[in-house]
Structures are given as C-alpha cells and as structure tokens.
A and B are shown apart, each in its own frame.
Chain A
C-alpha cells in the first residue's frame, strides 16, 4: 500500500514530468496455453508497460506459466470478463497508471498493435480508444451470425453515441485516467464491451476507434456459445435502454460537477 500511495503522490505533484505509466490488463480464464507467448510478445512490443494477468478463477495451470513472467492477480472465483477487467482497472486507478490497456488472454489482440492504440490515445486525448477490426483494409473474418450481431450493435451504438462506431464488441482498448476512474467505479459484469461505450458516452467522455489487425484466436475457444449469444442479444440491448433511461441525471451531475 505504501508503495502505491507514494507513487500516487508523486504523480499528483508532477503530472507531466513523471514517466508515463501504462498497465496492460490481460483477463484470462483458462488461457494457460497462450499466455506465456502473449506476455513475452507484449513485453517485447511495449517494454515500458507493466503487464498484469487477472486470473479469473481459472482451473488450469495459469499461475505456474505466468510466474516469473508477469504480475498475477488471482480472483478467488470466476467473475466473468467484466469483473476481471475491472479488477485490473482498480489496480490502475490505485497505483496511479495514466493508461490502461485491455488485451484479451486468448491471443486475438496482437501485441504489436498496442503501441498504435496508445499513440492514438495520447495524440487525440480520447478517454476510451477502441481497436476496431472493420476499418482497416484486409478486414477480419468472423462467422456470419457474429458479423450480423456486431453490425446490429454498431448501428445501435452509432445512434446512441452519435458517432460512427464500427466494432462495439471489440475488447482491445485503451483507457485514460478518466475512463479508468469511470470503469473502476462501475463496469458491467458479463458482457461489458458494448455497455462500456454507452457508459463513456453518458458520462460525457470521448471515445474513438482506431483500425487494428486482429488475429484468429490461437488456443481455447470463444467464451460465447449459441445460448450465450442469444442471452447477449437480449441482455445488452436491454442494458443499453436501461442505462439510457437511468443514468441521465447522473451524467448531468457529472458534467456539472466536473472541474
């Protein structure tokens, strides 16, 4: 705690002279197969960044393969991707990181693209920077059903947020201090990606998309099967509607209250 506290004071005293600190959050549920390679690639691609693996109640040998490679935070039970990422964001918040990067543990998000996302976040000053698969040439191949779902959400989100959003389900994203604070306070537990965009919009923060290359997953399989997909299509729109109804006054208060 004392270490974290001293870092925070230092950052507050000299915000710009301090070396910028970036935390790469890797939520992982039974991804021991791809983790060592991913961590090494991340450290090679961003040597200045700290990597933290959030073990989301994995039952495989994640602790053994991560040990000595990166910091490992073990959740005592499976919370889902949202709870895991939020844990990482709480670390970023309390230890004074300027940026947090979410990189999924399955190897879908290429480490060499992290620098590109970070640069875009720094340059534009956006609070949330999302890596999109659909703005680059070459594109990303996914199943037809999944593409349809993504298209539906990108239409919905573009309307809600009043800006063009092509890949709302992408989990490859960079958050700055303001977004870290927002999400550390509240983050959807099960399917957080789409809802987080609405949260950002409602809080009056800025978001941008940056085209990135994404790979097919190397090991493991998607956490979202058929039944879950249906649940996803029902839950996320409902959650969006609810947050549009609910958070209006909160968002307004935030805007008024912000210095």
Chain B
C-alpha cells in the first residue's frame, strides 16, 4: 500500500470515528454500542498510521503474503464481533417486546372486565359456567 492509500484509509477511519462520537453526543447511539464501534475505528486508525509498519510483521505472523490483507482480517474480525453484539441485542429486545405485548394484552383484558363489571354488564366475561350469554 502506498503512502497515498494509507492516508485515505486513515481519513476514512477518522470520519467513522468522528461520526460515532457525534452520534453518541447526540444520544443517537448508546455508549454501550459505541464502545465496539470506537474500538474498531481506533484499531483501524492505529493500523493505518503508527502501526502500519507492524502490519507487515502481523501479516507475516499470520502467514498472509499480502500485508494490507491483514488490515481486512482485523476489520472483518471487528465487524463480526459487532454483528454478534447486535444479534444478542435483537434477541433481548425481541424477548422484552414479547413480554410487553403479553402484559398489554392481559392489562387490557382486566381493564375491559373491570369496566364491564362496573357498568353492570358482563358481556365480555362470558362462559356458560359463569352466566347468561349476551349477543
């Protein structure tokens, strides 16, 4: 990779880092998620600037003949972590929304029955064991 290419990578990463910072400041991303994003962009920043010469060593260590590929490896690893984190959050949110939906349904049911009891009609609470049927 040329000096020029290195600068491009550095700048792009800087923009990503800045964007994440800005989103956290604006409370569009919670700090929790931002940590991983910032970690990845910091890693990239380091890799594309100070650590660029170490990249060759890392590439050698991993047996990668083309050093910039080591950069891709790092990025893909980071992104995979991020996606797994996202999946775990989606699962958690799914679980929470299920519980909420159930609670809403149960609350609305008890509210309906309370209203029906107060107004003297028990139309919605029917079953043959419990009282006369209404149409």
Contact A76 B105 (CB under 8 A): yes
- A1/B110 in contact, CB under 8 A: yes
Q: Which among B97, B110, B113 has the greatest number of chain A C-beta atoms within 10 A?
A: B110
B127–A71 touching, CB < 8 Å: yes
Q: Does A225 contact B (CB under 8 A)?
A: no
Interface members, chain B 93-114 (any A CB < 8 Å) = 94, 97-98, 101-102, 104-106, 108-110, 113
- Asked, given contacts A1-B110, A50-B130, A87-B106, whether A71 binds B125 with beta carbons under 8 Å apart, the answer is yes
Cross-chain contact of A68 among B113, B126, B130 (Cβ < 8 A) = B126
**Chain A residue contacts of B110, Cβ below 8 A:** 1, 4
B134 on the A face (CB < 8 A) = yes
| A51 CB within 8 Å of chain B | yes
B126 touching A70, Cβ below 8 Å: yes
Within 8 A of A (CB), among B61-104: 94, 97-98, 101-102, 104
Our pick among B106, B117, B134 for the contact of A91 (Cβ within 8 Å) is B106
- Whether A71 contacts B109 in the complex (CB less than 8 A), given A76-B104, A79-B98, A189-B98, comes out as yes
B125 CB contacts on chain A under 8 angstroms: 71
Contact partners of A74 in chain B: CB under 8 A: 105, 108-109
Task: Tell me whether B128 is interfacial, beta carbon within 8 Å.
Answer: yes
- A49 and B106: CB pair below 8 A? no
Interface residues of A, count at CB 8 A = 28
Q: Number of residue pairs across A and B with beta carbons under 8 Å?
A: 67
**Docked-complex contact A83 and B126, CB < 8 angstroms:** no
**Chain A contact residues: over half helix, strand or loop, or mixed?**
mixed
State the CA gap A50–B113 with chains docked (Å): 15
B129 close to chain A: CB less than 8 A: yes
- CB of B133 within 8 A of chain A? yes
Partner of B123, one of A68, A75, A86: A68
Q: Does residue A67 face the partner (Cβ distance < 8 Å to B)?
A: yes
Q: Given A49-B129, A90-B106: A71 and B124 within 8 A (CB)? A: yes
Q: Are B101 and A47 in contact (CB under 8 A)?
A: no
B3 within 8 A of A: no
* A76 & B101 in contact (Cβ 8 Å cutoff): yes
Determine if A217 is an interface residue (Cβ-Cβ < 8 Å).
no
Contact of B129 among A1, A48, A75, A76 (CB under 8 A): A48
Contacts known (A43-B128, A49-B127, A70-B126); A87 close to B134, Cβ less than 8 A? no
Is A234 an interface residue, CB under 8 A from the partner?
no
Given contacts A67-B124, A75-B105, A91-B106, 4 further A-B contacts (CB under 8 A): A1-B110, A48-B129, A76-B105, A189-B94
A residues bordering B, Cβ < 8 Å?
A: 1, 3-4, 43, 47-51, 54, 67-77, 79, 83, 86-87, 90-91, 189
Could you give 18 example pairs across A and B, Cβ below 8 Å?
A1-B110, A3-B117, A47-B128, A67-B123, A67-B124, A69-B133, A70-B127, A71-B109, A71-B127, A72-B109, A73-B105, A73-B106, A74-B105, A74-B109, A75-B102, A77-B101, A79-B101, A87-B105
